[in-house]
Amino acid sequence: EAFGGNIDNAIDAAIAVEILHNFTLVHDDIMDNASTRRGKETIHKKWDVNAAILVGDELIGLSYRSLLLSKTENITGVLRAFTDGVIEVCEGQALDKEFELSADVSIDDYKIMIRKKTAELLRTSSIMGAIIGNADSTGIDSISSYSENIGLAFQIQDDLLDVIADEGEFGKKIGGDILERKKTFLYLRALEILEGKQRDDFMYMYNTNDNNDEKIKKIVALYNEICVIGSARDEIAVYTERANNNLQCIKNGNARKMLEKFSDMLLNRSY
């Protein structure tokens, strides 16, 4: 819509992205051993891992079936953007799992990972929509940058919500990232702040196999004590502002306001 396209022409591509997103969640839940998603039992818990793998595999096929129905003269460009997105998302998930076993991960490494795992799906969506809307190269670059920045903000916000959200509203267990020993923005920022024995004690506590609520409480209390929570909020605000600045080339004022509203919704979400 931002580039003058007909919304109806993008519906099948949008459905393809949503189906693909659900594929990533099904397989992600298996790898994270998550028991709930959106407040409901995950597929591998309700049935078994093999069933969940097959569900994820079929979702990829269904996503391409929908994508091929897209009404555009540049179906090759749309397919290329979508396929590149699938590859990037899988590479991001691979990095995420690799980081769980590595003691040497920096915030820069983390941002490379979330750019692939999370921001890429938003970027793919935006590029596909721009192509279907017949945007020029400047428009595609602008919406690509917008969605990448908002995707980075989204993932850092997700890391934050994992420790501050209401569990019923969030739809999954609070502190799940801690129990999975994920290298989140909060964890890596804490390592930058802490020194000496306090840093060593934190690393030991975080990376032990003590998967209980007491561990979560201690980690969250430390995050608050050393202002890691505030640091995450600041980072989210920075990427959100960068994202909105990328929208200035969009001439359609209503579409630009809708995207800015989307940014605000992500910035202030509670689940």
Distance separating alpha carbons of residues 193 and 188, to the nearest angstrom:
9
Using CB atoms within 10 A of its CB, is residue 43 exposed (0-12), middle (13-18) or buried (19+)? buried
Residues 186-208: what's their mean pLDDT?
93
Query: What does the pLDDT look like over 9-35, one tens digit per residue?
Result: 999 999 999 999 999 999 988 988 888
Q: Is the per-residue pLDDT at 189 higher than 80?
A: yes
Tell me the CA distances in angstroms from 267 to 69, 240, 248, one per residue in order: 33, 7, 19
Label residue 169 by pLDDT band (50, 70, 90). Answer: low
CB contact set of 35 (below 8 Å; sequence gap of 6+): 41, 42, 45, 173
Residues 158-179: what's their mean pLDDT?
79
Report the alpha-carbon angle 10-113-241, nearest 5: 65
Report the alpha-carbon angle 27-148-177, nearest 5: 40
Label residue 101 by pLDDT band (50, 70, 90). Answer: confident
Residues 137-163: what's their mean pLDDT?
94
Task: Taking each helix axis as running N to C, give the angle between helix 75-100 and helix 49-67, from 0 to 180 degrees, rounded to the nearest 10.
Answer: 150
As given in the structure block, the two tokens for residue 44 are 């591998």
Please tell me the predicted confidence (pLDDT) of residue 132.
96
Please tell me the predicted confidence (pLDDT) of residue 171.
63
Query: What does the pLDDT look like over 67-87, one tens digit per residue?
Result: 999 999 999 999 999 999 999
Q: State percent of the chain over pLDDT 70.
A: 96
